[in-house]
Structure 1
Amino acid sequence: MKVLITGGSGHIGSHIAERLLARKDQVLVIDNYATGRRDNLTAQVGLQITEGTIADKVLVDRLFDDFKPDIVVHAAAAYKDPENWEEDVLTNELGTVNVVKAAKRTGVKRVIYFQTSLCYGLHPIEQPITLNHPLFSGKSPGGSSYAISKTGGEQYIELSGLDFISFRLANSYGPRNLSGPLPTFYHRLTSNKGCFVMDTRRDFIFVDDLVDCVIKAVDGAGTRGYYHISTGKDYSVKELFDATLKALGMSPETPVELRARGEDDVFTILIDPSKTNKDFDWTPKTSLETGIQKAIDWYKTHGITQTFTHLKVEDKKH
């Protein structure tokens, strides 16, 4: 099988690429390395890597024409600067349009997309959130440029008429993850910098479990439309911090500062995975404690120089 992966050198994309390559599929990766790392993928038989942006229509069209993919895994996303709306629109919306039109023109069998569960807005009207929940409902629609632009991209995919699976994700974590609280905690704790935790809860999905589900979608499981990838259980960010301390063998002298969440953040994102469990015959296997240890082992080996968030977090004290 020939699979084109946008954002294929990022946290999720690189793990998918490696899984496909291990079973002898041919993989073409496009990545601009805005948040992906060059050392996430090594040169190997069956892998082609192109450095560039999906906002470049000429490049996207050429790659599709030359490679002629059977499947597209669309993992590219802009999220590193919450104020850079222009880049979010260019990558998450225009870039998606470029990918979708090229996929339709060249006869791609299926597009697999990754959507943020922030598409349900900052004040969900049910817990857990089901796939029947309206988009951007409640008191504060949108909430962030990232959520708005990712949702726009998702809607263009549906508009295309292509067969697609859109996975609305819980917080993916594990080796190679540079966004969210876990790598931030590791980076600050190991750099002797102060930490704080937000008064929020999240469903954390380990990347290997996520990839198990995606590979099933590559192979044809599921029907056109929307699915959740999640564990169906949420944890406080304080619990994640405590588990990180345990994995590092650290005991701070003073309790960590607990901060109220910002206006662009949601208290909990707990999404219902029951449709995915059924249609994909899939359940996550990795405990939070095991997943955190695997992530930290990778951080220790590879190092972190930078972490990213789509949220506007003011570092008040440190």
Structure 2
Amino acid sequence: MKVFITGGAGNIGSTIADLLLARGDQVLVLDDFSTGKKHHIQDHENLTFVEGSIVDAELLNKLMTDFQPEAVVHCAASYKDPDDWVTDTMVNSVGGVNVIQACQKHNVKRTIYFQTALCYGIHPTEHPITLNHPINPDNSSYAITKTSVEEVLRLSGIDYVTFRLANVIGPRTVSGPLPIFYQRLKEGKQCFATKARRDFIYTPDLAKLVVRAVDGEGNGIYHFSSGSDWAIKDFYDLVAGAMKLDPIPAPEIKELGADDAASILLDPSRTFADFGEIEFTPMEQAIHDIVAYYDKHGVHGGYTHLKINKED
């Protein structure tokens, strides 16, 4: 199968590319390295890599014409600066629509999209959040722009699967609390944790399900969630423990900020119904593997689409 992955040098995209290449598929990756990393892309006889942006509609159409993908996995997204509304709009909204229109024009059989759980807002009225919960992406330009493209995808008439995601973590993660905790602990700096709870899911677990969706399983919108959440403090303890810190430095516990949700937990029942029970990697094992990767290769990023007070 021929699969085109936008943002294929990022955490999710590169992990999916590895699985597809391992089973013999031909893969085309497009990335501009805004957050993706070159070392995530390994040379392979079935891999074609192009440096560029989904904002460039002409480039997208040329790549589609030359490669003729059977499936497109759209991972490319802007999220690293919560105040950069223009870039979020250009990449997520304009670029996302460029991808959808290119899929229409070139008769792509299946398109996979990723949406943020923050499409439900920071004060969801359900716990866990069901697919019937009202859409209310009121918290960031990232959530607003990602949601706008999901709506365009729904109206496009093309065959698609959207995964609305819990917090995705993996060795190649450059956003969220994990790389921030690791880097600060490595530097001997104090960390802080809010009183929030989150569902953390391991990138390889998600990638395995995406490959099944590429092959034709599922249709429409799904939650990718383990169905349980963790206190951020407990997640911090796992990171510090995997780093073998003894004693574990106590983090400062902060109240929730104005743009932070107390809990974001997605109901995965439709996903389990259509794809069957999913074997999730135990969080302790996932954190152990990620920290081992950081110890060997270093940590990159530490981005967040939410506004935070930066500290030394």
- TM-score relative to the length of structure 2: 0.97
- For 1:257, give the aligned amino acid: E
- For 1:48, give the aligned amino acid: T
Of 247-256 and 189-198, deviating more is 247-256
**Structure 2 CA distance for aligned equivalents of residues 102 and 163 of structure 1:** 13
**How many pairs align?**
312
Structure 2 contact 64–102 (Cα < 8 Å) conserved: yes
Query: Which of 218, 226, 231 is the matching residue for 2:226?
Result: 231
**Structure 2 CA distance for aligned equivalents of residues 177 and 123 of structure 1:** 26
Provide closer, same or farther for how the CA distance between residues 280 and 254 of structure 1 changes in structure 2, counting only shifts above 3 A: closer
Q: Which residue matches 1:112?
A: 112
Describe the SS at the equivalent of 1:79: coil
Describe the SS at the equivalent of 1:111: strand
**Structure 2 CA distance for aligned equivalents of residues 284 and 188 of structure 1:** 32
Structure 2 contact 237–248 (Cα < 8 Å) conserved: no
**Structure 2 CA distance for aligned equivalents of residues 56 and 252 of structure 1:** 51
* Mapping for residues 31-42 of structure 1, pairs under 5 Å: 31-42=31-42
Q: Which residue matches 1:288?
A: 283
Q: Which residue matches 1:311?
A: 306
Deviations 1:162-202 (A, max 9, x none): 01100000111111111101111011111222211122110
**Structure 1 CA distance for aligned equivalents of residues 293 and 158 of structure 2:** 37
Deviations 1:119-168 (A, max 9, x none): 001111111001111101xxxx5111110011011111111110110000
Q: Which residue matches 2:70?
A: 70
Q: Identity of paired residues, percent?
A: 49
Structure 2 contact 175–301 (Cα < 8 Å) conserved: no
**Structure 2 CA distance for aligned equivalents of residues 252 and 118 of structure 1:** 35
Q: What is the root-mean-square deviation of aligned Cα atoms in Å?
A: 1.1
Where does structure 1 differ by over 4 angstroms across 4 or more consecutive aligned residues? none
Structure 1 contact 69–108 (Cα < 8 Å) conserved: yes
Describe the SS at the equivalent of 2:129: coil
Query: Which of 158, 162, 170 is the matching residue for 2:166?
Result: 170
Describe the SS at the equivalent of 2:80: coil
Describe the SS at the equivalent of 1:293: helix
Query: Which of 257, 268, 277 is the matching residue for 1:262?
Result: 257
Provide closer, same or farther for how the CA distance between residues 89 and 222 of structure 1 changes in structure 2, counting only shifts above 3 A: same
* Mapping for residues 1-318 of structure 1, pairs under 5 Å: 1-136=1-136, 141-223=137-219, 225-252=220-247, 255-316=250-311, 318=312
- For 1:249, give the aligned amino acid: K
- For 2:117, give the aligned amino acid: S
Describe the SS at the equivalent of 1:228: strand
Describe the SS at the equivalent of 2:9: coil
**Structure 2 CA distance for aligned equivalents of residues 5 and 154 of structure 1:** 17
**Structure 1 CA distance for aligned equivalents of residues 21 and 149 of structure 2:** 27
Gaps of 5+ in 1: none
